[in-house]
Structures are given as structure tokens and as C-alpha cells.
Amino acid sequence: MPKFAHILCALCYVLPFVLNAQPIADGEHSHVDTTMSRPTVAVVLGGGGARGAAHIGVLQVLEEHRIPVDLVTGTSMGALVGGLYAAGHRPADMQHLLADIDWKHMFKDSPPRETRHMRRKREDIANLGTAELGVRDGKIVTPRGALQGHRLLLWLRRQTLGVRDVENFAELPIPFACVATDIVSTEKAVLTQGDLAMSMRASMAVPGVFSPIRVNGQLMVDGGVVDNVPISVARDLGADRLIVVDVGAPLLTEEQLGSPMAISLQMVSALMKRETDRSLATLGSNDILIRPALGEFSSADFDGSASTVAVGRQAALDALPQLLPLALNETDWQAHLAARGMPDHAALQINRVVVDDSRTRSSRHIARTVSRIEPGALSIDQLEDVLDQTMSEGGYERVNYHLRRVGDESILSIEPVDKGWGPGYLRFGFALGDDFAGGSAYQATGDLRLTGLDERGREWRNRVQLGQRSGVLTELYQPIGDDGRFYALGSADYEVTEQPFEVLDQSIALFSSQVSRGGAEIGFYPNDHWQLSTGLQFGRHHLDRLIGSSDIAEHNSFSSGAWTFGATYDTLDDVGFPTRGSRFDAALRAFRPGLGSDEEADVVRLRFDRPIDTRLGTLLIGAQADWALTGRDSGEAITTLGGFGRLTGLRENERVGTRSVLARVLGYRGLNETRLASVPLYAGFSLEAGQNWLSFESAQVGDLDYSASVFFAVRSPLGPLYLGYGRSTSGDSSAFLRIGTLIDDLRR
């Protein structure tokens, strides 16, 4: 119920519209044959979110008892069910369709992580939040909805491909109309022609949750705002007898009105109920009203669709005495089914693929992505994979497609739409580590990405960090070539870090490390999971002793210049609680005097993580190494251990050295059902072994420190949050709180 409260509370933005909206008579679009000897029967399906799955149960009973449906009208979820039925889907098939939907996945615009572009995967590791603000013309711009509905639209498009050539909804197997709201004029819009999938999506666009969508030149939102049970629409289209299904949610009780949000919800619900009651009052004695006994069933509980269908079915069975007089004999029923016709589900063939560049700034970038689609037999799975990869670039509100005929050709048109709040995108991230014993470290990040700087997809990124590491970064990314697999990158950054110097676990000095760097690299993406790169990096390092005493000079400066080589493989499905895939990251820096370096050294850094799914939960197997291979100890080789997952029980970054190794196993298991409205909660443990050394000669396997921990974790709005207790064989122990991913990125 809480998430539904959020959804309906968003309707407060359009409260004035409900009072001022006027129905639009649309009788001129009626294509129902009113000359039939029997009355024209229309099914009217109301909005109600997940409660609307009950419509399927009603339709099942109608078909089982040979009750004809000559016309369908619907709003919101009623538009989805009604549109699918009108397009030729049988109720039994529709039940399976809804049962097979992963609703958490459906209500996400971003594709699965493992399919995203390598450049975008790194943003997850940087722990940038999901909330995104736009920057346009020097102003901060917010998205028009929490969701853009990309995946929902793709699903609707797939389910309506059989009627892809139908533009007049009266020519569908069952004539159909749905209701949306013109958000500009605030008037009701009756959609009877055009793009069926887009019309259904518009009717479901809950304000504040789904962004408005443009249909037939109008900017549309959810039709429930003005006509949640479109009875008048069915009459205008020629219906004689109505079967009306009302699945609206009940008003909140006094006990439930315990917050301003709940009160706002109640006001919106009351206004919608008033409009619905006015519509229901127009029903005649021959019309049939079905109200499934859904009780307190949440409009947001899409995972419970199976039980909701059963409730709708029972309600229709209870109404059979009223329904059966409409029933046909077997002969007339078969004739009725034949008259509907069947949608064309033949294999889809395409002759050409084109990109509609009217609403994007990076047409060449899109063109090279969709070039993977070959003319011939079209695989919808392959097509959606390509569109997902296009969406993974991060600059698109949605990527739609159409199949249309031009002469003898079947043309697949790809229609990317740039985010309306771009081309600049601002995100924030936060990471925290605390041992509840005076040791803490935090990292706050602000990231501004400017996109669409050319048709190939050039980007300019600027990042500011505050916390244990403070600094600024700027980088310019330029794809090269028509296929975009090569790129060039130039960057510059400045970073300040405070680092304690410890002897026998006692801090004896605190240093400030200041680093200025600049560099350039070229890279290559062999496929969607690999990134290879090489380049040059130059830097100036300055070390100041702030307090304490040590053998290290009070002030120490040196220059660095190095060849850089990197290789990354990443197919992880998640960076907080991964369950499949793997990640390997390797970086080599060769510091040479000929490149301006004061010291010569070869430093290698390696990271590996792989989750293994078991019956008891997930095991994340990981290992890392940071090692100065040659030359004297390099300041560039400094590495730290300590904190959760990195010798838990020690303080954050307590161990310092120029050579280190770490092996770990983290286990975690979900404790609650990961339903649409739930917050995933986990319990887990970790086992780790590792150590830091200052020299190669001092490195001994017997020096390894061992740590273990137990923890609870949750997916928070700020990122994965871990709370637990760890202990090390060195005798250290601590409770800890950590916000941030467990995956390290060597290209930060």
C-alpha cells in the first residue's frame, strides 16, 4: 500500500483538472454494426492498477458462456486488458501473459546491468544514485515522471504486433477505444485510432509516476484522472447493452489517515470516485455492473495478479443470471468468433532498417548500434536486446520502433527519443564506512555528464568528490569509427587524501597527499563485456605531514610519468548483491624517467569477483592484488586494507603498504519476498584473508591476517547498506556501517 500511496499522491498535480474536464463526444468514430438483430454489447473496463487483473477473470467467464463482446472501452489498466483483448488475445492467454511478467523489471527503464555499455557499468561502481537531474540551457530540469515507461511500451508493442497495420481501432478484431487526459488542455481524450501500443501506454501514464507521452500530437497522461470507467465512450460508439467492470480502490478509513500523504490520497480518490459514481448512475436497467470483491487488495500488488483474476472470475460467475440472457447458441457463437478475425502472427520479415533521427542528437551513434539487425526474418528478442543496449547509453527517454509497409517493402523504423531534461545530466552519490569506534570515512560525489556533443556520441564528464578523497575530475570521451568500438579519452584530475601512518597499529603521524594528474588513452571494446585500453599518464605528487612524527620527510614531492594498460571484463548483474556473471579488472602502470617520472617502477593491480548461486543463497568469491613488480618502492603503489570486505574488523584503510593481497568469500541470502513494493533485506557473512607489506622481502604468507563478519544489508536509496560486526585474528574487532558497493574500479 505505501508505494501505491506514492503513486496516487502524484495525482495531486492534476487535481484541478478533474473539476474542469469535459467529456468529448466521439460518436463520429463509431464503427459498430448496429443493424444486428441482437443488441450491441460493450464491455467497459475501469482503471485500478494491479486490481485491474480482475478484468481477465470476467472476460474468461464471458467467453466460456458464449456471451458476445462487440466493443471494448477501457481506462488505465482497463485499457491494457481491453486493448489486448481487442487485439485478439484470448483471456486464458492474457492470464499467462500477466503471470509471466517480471514486474520489477517491467517498471525499470534501464536494461539489465550485464547488457549495459561498459562505460555505464562503471557508474554503478562509483555508487552514483539512481536519481537524475537534467541540465539544459544553464537550468536544472527534472524528468516529467519517475519512469519513462520504455520497457512497458516494448511489452505492449510485442503483444500488439499481430495488428501492427491497423490504425483505426474499429478495425481491430474487436472495436476498441481508450481514455487518456490531455495534460495541456486538461480535457478527456478518447483514443480510437493511431498507434495502439502508444495509446494504451498513454492511458496508463499515472502523473508523477510515468512521464506523459505524445499521442496524435497531444501530450497525454492517465485517463483515470477524468474518466476512470468510460461508460459514455461506449455509448457514443454505439453500444446498446453495457457490461461494466469497476475495480476502483476503496477510500481509506479514519485509522489509515495518519499522514499528509494519506490525506492527499484520500482527496484524489474521493474526486475520482465522485466522477465514477456519476458515470455509474447513467447505467440503465439492462446494463450489468460487476464489482469484484477485491477488498483491500493493493493497486500496486502486480505480483498477486493470479488471485486477482480469480476474484474477477467469481464476480462474473455471480452475475451469470444477468449475463446469460445475452448468450449465443453454439452456431451463432462460432460465427461471432469467425467475424472477429484473427491477428496476423506470421513471421515478421523486414526489408530495410531505418533510424528516425528527428528526436535525437546522436543519430550516427544510434545507426551503428542498430546495424546489427539484418534484413530478413525479424527476431523480437534480438530487436529488444539491441534497443536495450541503445537505452543503456543513458541519454534516451525511450527507444521505440514501428513496423510499416511502404509499397512492397516492410520497413523497421527505430525511433530514439533523447531525454527531454538533457543534454546534461547531474547525479549524486554517497559512500560511508564507520566502525562505531571513532573511525569513519565518507565519500560524497557529484557528477555532471554532458552528452550528444556530436553525432557519434561525444561526452564531457565533470566530477567533484568530498570526503576521505576530495578532488575534481574532468574527462572528454570521443567514440571513434562507424562502429564505435574504438574511443579516445582525455582526462585531468586533482585529489587530496588524508592518510595516517601507523606502526604496530598505532597512528604516529597524519599526512596529506595531494596529486595532480593528466593523461590520455585510447581503448577498444571487443564486445559488450570487454574493455581494453592503453595510454599515458603524468602526475605531480606532494606529501605533507600534518601532525605527528615519522621517518618520512615533513614535505615530500615527486613527479610521475607512466605507460598505462588496462583490461576489464564485466558481466555482473548487480554491484551490491550480485547473483550471476563475473568481473575481472587489471591495470599495469609502467613508470619511466623518460616520461618525466622521478622513479622507475612497474605496478600491477588485479581484481576478480564472481558470484555463485546456491540453494542457501549466493557466495561472492573475490581476490585482489596490488604489487610493485620492479624498482624501489613507489608512492604510486600505495594500497590500503581495512573495513568491510577488506579485512573486516580493522578500521577503514587501516593497513598501508606498497604490496598487498586479499582473498574473500561473502555469502548473503534474501530474507523477504522481493515483490514490487518490498524493500529487499539480506543477511550474510564474510571470510577474508589478506595483508599489506612495505617491501618485497618482507612479504610472507605466514603474515596473512584473517577476518570474519556477520551482517544485515538492505538496498537503500543511497545504495547498498551493510550493518554488522567483524573480527580479525590480529585481535581487532568492530561493529560497522557501510554504504557503497563492494566492487572496486581500477579506472577511477
Catalytic residue list:
76, 222
Which H helix or E strand runs over 652?
A: none
Instruction: Kindly give, in sequence order, each residue whose CB lies less than 8 Å from that of residue 717, ignoring residues fewer than 6 positions away.
Output: 129, 130, 131
Burial class of residue 610, CB neighbours in 10 A (0-12, 13-18, 19+): middle
Q: Which residues contact 590 (CB under 8 A, 6 or more apart)?
A: 562, 563, 564, 565, 602
C-alpha cell at 390: 541503445
The cell for 267 is: 482527496
| Residue 81 vs residues 12, 201, 209, 579: alpha-carbon distances, Å | 26, 12, 20, 34
Do 707 and 725 meet the contact criterion of CB atoms below 8 Å apart? no
Q: Angle at CA 642, nearest 5°, toward 637 and 645?
A: 110
| Farthest-apart Cα atoms in the chain, separation | 103
Q: How far is CA 105 from CA 95, 110, 303, 528, 706, in A?
A: 18, 9, 12, 21, 39
| Whether 124 contacts 130, CB under 8 Å | no
Return the C-alpha cell found at 613.
548461486
Distance from chain centroid for Cα 543: 43
CB 278 within 8 A of CB 232: no
Question: In the block, which residue shows the cell 503471470?
Answer: 99
Report d(CA 362, CA 514) in Å as an integer: 38
CA distances from 61 to 123, 274, 306, 336, 747 (A): 50, 29, 15, 16, 60
b (16+ CB within 10 A) / e for 525-547: beebbebebebebbbbbebebee
Which residues contact residue 414 at a Cβ distance below 8 angstroms, ignoring those fewer than 6 apart? 353, 354, 355, 356, 366, 370, 387, 390, 399, 400, 401
d(CA 191, CA 227): 13
* Distance from C-alpha of 140 to C-alpha of 130, rounded to nearest angstrom: 17
| 3-state class (DSSP) for residue 583 | strand
**Residues 253 and 259: beta-carbon distance below 8 Å:** no
List the grid coordinates of 30.
Answer: 463509431
445, 510, 490: which is closest to 472 by C-alpha? 445
H or E element at residue 375: none
Distance CA 684, CA 664 (A): 13
